[in-house]
Amino acid sequence: MALASLMEGAKGGGPVSSFFRTTIIATPLMTMLTMDGNNSSNNASPGENYRHFSESSLLDTGTGGAELVPMWPWFLFLAGAMCCLVFSSVSHLLACHSNHLSRFFWRLDYAGISIMIVCSYYAPVYYSFYCHPLSSLLYLTSITILGVLAIITLLTPALSSPDFRVFRVSLFLGMGFTGFIPAVHAAALFWDHPHVLVALGYEILMGILYAIGVWFYVNRVPERWKPGFFDLAGHSHQIFHVFVVGGALTHSAAIMVILHWRQGMPTCF
């Protein structure tokens, strides 16, 4: 009965039902395809909404008095995620060539992780603080500087040895958890906006997935329990990558929720 009432409520009007349809029922992909920059074409067909999304410029701020939220932070995240996975794939493929190239490619792999972390920050921070440019500039500048320093550190040959395994993981976790400050700031500013809280929930889930993956990586589970048995499949590094992809997908869902919410907000003055 409760489920039936909830579904009936979702068919009606009002902000609660609108939030239910756009955030709970719609998948992140469908949310992306049905975005409307000025939030005024609720009765438009999916094809019209898709054309509106496709024809909007990545950098234009809008026409006719309605502001189109830039899409470049979303594509920056996608580029960073793909860069990380490409670097990782190349490293795993070619690191066995020689001892010299092995060290180089593993450093490249670590640099790719740093790039992904930095690029992951831009979209949620940019869209959350779209009307607070000073806060946005502060947070994005800080994570960019940290990312550059991390890449320089990780490309140092001496720090790519197994002895610094825990140090590298701690560096990545430190970069990741610096997002706690802008997340708390955004929650304090928009605590009465359900979309922001839903996106924050996605981000918390992302952090949990990353942390679980790191735990497998650091503790080398399960190969430490049965050495040699998981050499080809099922070892900790593979499990780590599964959780990384899961975290990236969760983060993309959070970005879609925030972007959809920002496009429905009034223009900043």
14-20, long-range: CB within 8 Å, 24+ apart, which pairs? 19/194, 19/195
pLDDT more than 70, % of the chain: 74
Which residues contribute to the annotated binding site for Zn(2+)? 92, 237, 241
Per the listing, tokens 């939220």 go with 69
Q: Residue 14: how many CA atoms within 13 Å on its side-chain side?
A: 7
Domain assignment present for residue 40? The answer is no
pLDDT of the residue at 269: 60
pLDDT of the residue at 173: 74
Q: 250 lies in which domain range?
A: 71-264
3-state secondary structure of 253: helix
pLDDT of the residue at 252: 97
Following DSSP, what letter does each residue of 147-169 receive, concatenated? HHHHHHHHTSGGGGSGGGHHHHH
Q: Are 107 and 182 in contact (CB under 8 A)?
A: no
User: For strand 62-63 and strand 66-67, is the pairing parallel, antiparallel, or unpaired?
Assistant: antiparallel
Residue 39 has pLDDT above 50, yes or no: no
21 or 227: which carries more pLDDT confidence?
Answer: 227
222-229, long-range: CB within 8 Å, 24+ apart, which pairs? none
Element (H, E) at 228: none
Domain assignment present for residue 45? The answer is no
Domain assignment present for residue 29? The answer is no
User: What's the whole-number mean pLDDT along residues 102-118?
Assistant: 89
Show the DSSP H helices in the chain as ranges.
2-11, 15-19, 28-33, 46-55, 72-94, 99-128, 133-154, 165-177, 180-189, 194-219, 236-263
Residue 223 has pLDDT above 80, yes or no: yes
- Sign of dihedral through CA atoms 113, 115, 121, 124? negative
Domain assignment present for residue 241? The answer is yes
Domain assignment present for residue 66? The answer is no
Closest-CA residue to 262 (of 132, 111, 169, 112): 132
In the chain, the number of structural domains is 1
pLDDT band for position 67 (50/70/90)? low
User: What's the whole-number mean pLDDT along residues 42-62?
Assistant: 43
Domain assignment present for residue 202? The answer is yes
| Tokens read off for 198 | 């839903």
220: left (phi over 0), alpha (psi -120 to 50) or beta: left
Domain assignment present for residue 53? The answer is no
Taking the whole predicted model, whether its pTM rises above 0.85 is answered as no
Domain assignment present for residue 140? The answer is yes
Query: Using CA atoms, how far apart are residues 146 and 154, in angstroms rounded to an integer?
Result: 12
User: What's the whole-number mean pLDDT along residues 243-252?
Assistant: 95
Which residues contribute to the annotated binding site? 92, 237, 241
Residue 17 has pLDDT above 50, yes or no: no
pLDDT in tens, 127-185: 999 999 999 999 999 899 888 888 888 888 777 677 777 777 777 777 877 888 999 99
